[in-house]
Structure 1
């Protein structure tokens, strides 16, 4: 116990000595500055100016980072909100609104020069643009009732549009399903056939290029479709 008190007392004495040394050093520095102020003031002023400039630059850099970060988060949140549309909401869209939705999803995925060209003289294209890898694309959009079926002739029309616009990639996006012959036709001719199930995935965050890995799959068999129609009344 006596030894412990002795160590505590010695530690307090060392702290007191260090404090006295710091105070003495600070006082000596102040006296030195006061005596030689005329000689050192340009250096002190320069140091303060440089320090202030450094703080200002750091503050501007930090503010820019914060602003950019908030903008990035806002854009991500908006993209997530867009992806939260249900397929029932998509079914209620007009044809033009559906084309705008598809164009927006393309932009979300990094496609460039995306523009909607649908109309009475669209030459078989509703959306044109470039994929993130630079390839040109032509997109046909069909907002049909879920009980409808896309026939092969509509895919042939898209092939004609691909030739007309000299596009590298053709994409057919629909709110319904493809017939088996039309699905085979799409795969054989390199058309990305985005049926209702894939549209749901795309709308909720999957990328357009990722859908190409499952092209020609995912529609379910006839029994699956019958159960789906009974459940949703469509």
Structure 2
């Protein structure tokens, strides 16, 4: 007796064919979207494409998915892939918006004293060079560092714009180490007699003791501590040789006729 062989219906063969086509179409769409996404991302970074191009790419991907993938299952796959494509596009647009906002922001204004020199952080020789540079900045074109062994108290020598001889001693001390009266006395013994100073100046990053300031006042030696040095460096105070003129004229200007 012959056993009848059940042939597969056309619908079943079509379903099997549709499944293979669905898998193939999904892979194809994935490749297209992945390649297109990378290309779009590179284009956004290099040329800043407008949002219309991104939306157009998403629409084309959706159309390709619908054409290649037919049927109920195919439409579900196409919808999922398209949603992922839109998320990629939205992320790219957000990145573009952030970049444009960053470009539109005004650059931060430089600080008023952004180029201020921290004299306390300099080594002793660097500090002497910084003081000499301040002298040159304010008109002492020949200011030079002469400090070293045998300098007899003079670290910087210069000629003021009005022709006076400026002698400077530089003390690069820490904040708790102030220049004392003995140091001022040693400088006072050489600045006038040896270096023939018209203006004698001691600059100390640690400040001065009270006895040192008393001695300096008696000997007409200018003392610049951290505050005076900062004001001079920032240009909010006149240079020391101009202060010396004011101090020299002060007592006589204050006298009154009996």
Q: Could you tell me the TM-score, scaled by structure 2's length?
A: 0.48
The residue that corresponds to 1:138 in the other structure is 167
Q: Using the TM superposition, give the Cα deviation of residue 214 of structure 1 relative to its aligned residue in structure 2, in angstroms.
A: 7.8
- The structure with more radius of gyration: 2
Indicate conservation of the 8 Å contact 2:178/2:204, yes or no: no
1:111 to 137, 140, 144: 140
2:124 matches 1:95: yes
Distance 1:112 1:159 in 2: 25
Partner of residue 173, structure 1:
203
Shift in CA distance, 176/214, structure 1 to aligned 2, threshold 3 Å? farther
Matches of 2:168 and 2:186, distance apart in 1:
11
User: Does the aligned pair in 1 maintain the 2:203–2:224 contact within 8 Å?
Assistant: yes
RMSD (Å), alpha carbons: 2.2
**1:194-213 → structure 2 map (5 Å cutoff):** 194-205=224-235, 206-208=237-239, 209-212=241-244
Decide whether aligned partners of structure 1 residues 214 and 144 sit closer, same or farther in structure 2, where only a CA change above 3 A counts: farther
Give the deviation of 1:119 after TM superposition: 0.8
8 Å Cα contact 1:135/1:168 also seen in 2: yes
Q: Name the CA shift for 1:207/1:117 in 2 (closer, same or farther; >3 Å).
A: same
**1:155-234 alignment to 2 at 5 Å?**
155-162=184-191, 163-205=193-235, 206-208=237-239, 209-212=241-244
Q: 1:85 aligns with which of 78, 93, 116?
A: 116
Aligned partner of 1:5 in structure 2 is none
Segment of structure 1 superposing worse, 113-122 or 138-147: 113-122
Q: For 2:243 and 2:229, locate their aligned partners in 1 and report how far apart those are by CA, in whole Å.
A: 9
- Structure 1 residue ranges (4+ consecutive) displaced by more than 2 angstroms after TM superposition: 209-215
- Offset, 1:184: 1.2
Aligned-partner SS, 1:167? coil
Which of the pair is proportionally richer in helix? 1
- Structure 1's unaligned 5+ residue stretches are 1-79, 216-234
CA contact (8 A) 1:173 1:199 kept: yes
In 1: Cα distance, 2:190 partner to 2:132 partner: 17
Contact 2:167 2:201 in 1 (8 A): yes
Residue 207 of structure 1 and its aligned partner are, at CA, apart by 2.6
